[in-house]
């Protein structure tokens, strides 16, 4: 057995293809415990694709994704247990109440109802918690999706445009949640178009790795 | 196993809040069967002779009606993406969704089938076998259907494609379901046909979740 690497998450020579077109290639980065990585880049530069690869939803065409030095493709079930992926869709059901939605997602990760209630309070959804989700504004639905991060713990947070539609107060709640997660040794990878003020966060501009022209 | 139960409960909850889906299925089944006496005439002998076939064909088409929604709404709102990443194996999640689908569609169909059978002058001697055959056959429709629903996910006019894909696979259920119901109505033992239906159920329980899960993973990439 090799010594456990201090790097939690690392990528080597990663390449991504979408719809037959090479989007980016030669992507390398590494994150240690408590690290945060902000993905920036123009539309279509592959931010969402990279997050989906890190989640193990789609395989990279080239390169490797490692967790503590071991390829995530060796055991996707274990990888899924350690991540929380919040995509750009909110995955909430319009006919269930906010609380029912969150309790469901929490239960699916083995969490408890009290965890869900606490997360609802942190994201200031308590007044809306028993409303069907179809009556929630898009910012509130976003907060509900983000509340999943707090209701059941995971080591790696993968966030696709987490701050979209959030007001200033909700954004500061999100940032505080991310910082608390990092203090406990967790990792965050987030794509963003708006600046997210995180301490010592690495920036990765996907524009540098974009493949231009026919490939 | 609490994750499995949570998924079944959520899908049932959604089915009953939306109401439309399962009520549609039951209403279609009832209407299709009730229209038959008007179409072919009210002679009891004729109706009684075709009753098993009519009941099964109508049940099969009704089940097909609701299949498209099985994964569609989860796919559209991003829930499916999140579900794929849950610790509960996707195969078991498919099984949970099939169970919820059956409870919301197959079970109501089975429960109203005896009433509709009376409308068609179905021989009451065969009633037990009819219900038993539907109890065995309708879960097969949900299970095989999940494979088709997963394969056609994201396809434009997926509904038409789904029906074309599914109908040939539903024919064995139709044949043995009708055979079991008719055998009992005519005073023979329905046992061999029920056993074959049970075999279909056992086979699809083992294979369908696995096939549907790989189709879903494909759709997610």
Question: Contact B187/B167 with Cβ under 8 angstroms?
Answer: no
pLDDT tens-digit map of A38-84: 999 988 888 999 999 999 998 889 999 999 988 998 888 899 999 99
Question: Contact A88/A82 with Cβ under 8 angstroms?
Answer: no
What CATH number was assigned to the domain covering residues A7-90+154-209? 3.40.50.300
Is B88's CB within 8 Å of A90's CB? no
**Mean pLDDT, chain A, integer:** 89
Nearest CA in chain B to A78: B87
The alpha-carbon gap from A88 to the nearest alpha carbon of chain B, in Å, equals 8
Here the tokens at position A168 are 């200033």
| CB proximity under 8 Å: B 4-43 to A | 6-7, 10, 13-14, 17-18
Of B10, B85, B88, the CB nearest to A104: B10
pLDDT, position A215: 45
Of A56, A80, A95, the CB nearest to B18: A95
Nearest CA in chain B to A110: B3
Among A108, A115, A135, the strongest candidate for a mutation testing the B interface, having the largest count of B CBs within 10 A, is: A108
pTM, 2 dp: 0.91
Is A85's CB within 8 Å of B82's CB? yes
Here the tokens at position B17 are 């809040």
Q: What is the average pLDDT across A16-22?
A: 86
pLDDT, position B68: 85
Query: What is the three-state SS of chain B?
Result: CHHHHHHHHHHHHHHHHHCHHHHHHHHHHHHHHHHHHHHHCCCHHHHHHHHHHHHHHHHHHHHHHHHCHHHHHHHHCCHHHHHHCCCCCHHHHHHHHHHHHHHHHHHHHHHHHHHHHHHCCCCHHHHHHHHHHHHHHHHHHHHHHHHHHHHCCCCCCHHHHHHHHHHHHHHHHHHHHHHHHHHHHCCCCCHHHHHHHHHHHHHHHHHHHHHHHHHHHHHHC
Cβ–Cβ contact B3 with A under 8 A: yes
The alpha-carbon gap from B164 to the nearest alpha carbon of chain A, in Å, equals 27
Question: Contact A139/A163 with Cβ under 8 angstroms?
Answer: no
Nearest to A10 by CA among A33, A43, A44, A40: A33
- What is the rounded distance in angstroms from the CA atom of residue B93 to the CA atom of residue B171? 26
Interface contacts A/B by beta carbons within 8 Å = 70
Across chain B, which has 221 residues, the per-10-residue mean pLDDT values are 92 86 88 93 90 94 88 92 92 96 94 94 92 96 95 82 90 96 92 96 97 93 80
Share of chain A above pLDDT 90, in %: 60
Question: Contact B34/B119 with Cβ under 8 angstroms?
Answer: yes
Q: How confident is the model at residue A1 (pLDDT cuts 50, 70, 90)?
A: very low
pLDDT higher than threshold 70 for residue A5: no
Annotated domain spans of chain A:
7-90+154-209
pLDDT tens-digit map of B165-209: 898 999 999 999 999 999 998 889 999 999 999 999 999 999 999
Sign of torsion over alpha carbons B20, B24, B25, B27: positive
Here the tokens at position A74 are 């060796």
| Phi, psi (deg, nearest 5) at residue B209 | -60, -35
Contacts of A100 in chain B (CB under 8 A): 10, 13
Question: Contact B63/B113 with Cβ under 8 angstroms?
Answer: no
The alpha-carbon gap from B176 to the nearest alpha carbon of chain A, in Å, equals 38
pLDDT, position B21: 73
What 8-state DSSP symbol labels residue A214? -
Is A59's CB within 8 Å of B221's CB? yes
The alpha-carbon gap from B14 to the nearest alpha carbon of chain A, in Å, equals 7
Contacts of B14 in chain A (CB under 8 A): 93, 95-96
Of B14, B17, B87, the CB nearest to A80: B87
Is B221's CB within 8 Å of A57's CB? yes
Is B78's CB within 8 Å of A81's CB? no
pLDDT, position A214: 53
Q: How confident is the model at residue A213 (pLDDT cuts 50, 70, 90)?
A: low
């Amino acid at each position: 057995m090799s010594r456990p690497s201090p790097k939690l998450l690392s990528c080597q020579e990663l390449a991504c293809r979408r719809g037959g077109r090479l989007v980016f290639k030669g992507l390398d980065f590494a994150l240690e415990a408590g690290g945060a990585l902000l993905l920036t880049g123009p539309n279509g530069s592959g931010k969402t694709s990279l997050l989906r690869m890190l989640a193990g939803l789609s395989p990279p065409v080239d390169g490797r994704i490692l967790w503590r030095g071991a390829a995530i493709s060796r055991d996707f079930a274990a990888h899924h247990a350690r991540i929380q992926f919040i995509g750009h869709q909110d995955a909430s059901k319009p006919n269930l109440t906010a609380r029912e939605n969150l309790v469901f997602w929490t239960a699916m990760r083995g969490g408890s109802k009290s965890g869900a209630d606490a997360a609802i309070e942190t994201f200031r959804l308590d007044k809306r918690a028993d409303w069907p989700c179809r009556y929630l504004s898009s910012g509130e639905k976003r907060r509900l999706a983000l509340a999943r991060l707090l209701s059941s713990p995971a080591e790696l947070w993968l966030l696709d445009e987490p701050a979209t539609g959030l007001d200033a107060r909700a954004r500061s709640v999100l940032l505080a949640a991310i910082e608390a997660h990092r203090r406990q040794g967790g990792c965050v990878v987030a794509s963003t178009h708006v600046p997210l003020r995180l301490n010592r966060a690495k920036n990765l501009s996907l524009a540098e790795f974009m493949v231009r022209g026919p490939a | 196993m609490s994750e499995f139960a949570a998924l079944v409960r959520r899908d049932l909850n959604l089915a009953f809040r939306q109401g439309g889906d399962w009520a549609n299925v039951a209403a279609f089944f009832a209407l299709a069967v009730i229209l038959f006496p008007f179409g072919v005439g009210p002679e009891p002998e004729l109706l009684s002779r075709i009753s098993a076939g009519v009941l099964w064909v109508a049940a099969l088409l009704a089940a097909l009606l609701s299949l498209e929604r099985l994964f569609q709404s989860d796919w559209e709102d991003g829930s499916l993406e999140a579900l794929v990443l849950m610790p509960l194996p996707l195969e078991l999640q498919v099984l949970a969704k099939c169970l919820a689908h059956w409870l919301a569609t197959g079970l109501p169909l089975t429960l109203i089938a005896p009433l509709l059978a009376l409308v068609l002058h179905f021989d009451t001697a065969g009633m037990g076998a009819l219900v038993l055959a539907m109890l065995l056959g309708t879960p097969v429709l949900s299970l095989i259907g999940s494979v088709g629903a997963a394969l056609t996910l994201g396809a434009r006019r997926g509904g038409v494609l789904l029906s074309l894909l599914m109908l040939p696979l539903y024919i064995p259920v139709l044949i043995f379901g009708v055979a079991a119901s008719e055998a009992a109505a005519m005073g023979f033992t329905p046992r061999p046909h029920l056993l074959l239906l049970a075999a279909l159920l056992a086979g699809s329980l083992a294979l369908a979740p696995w096939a549907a899960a790989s189709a879903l993973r494909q759709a997610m990439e």
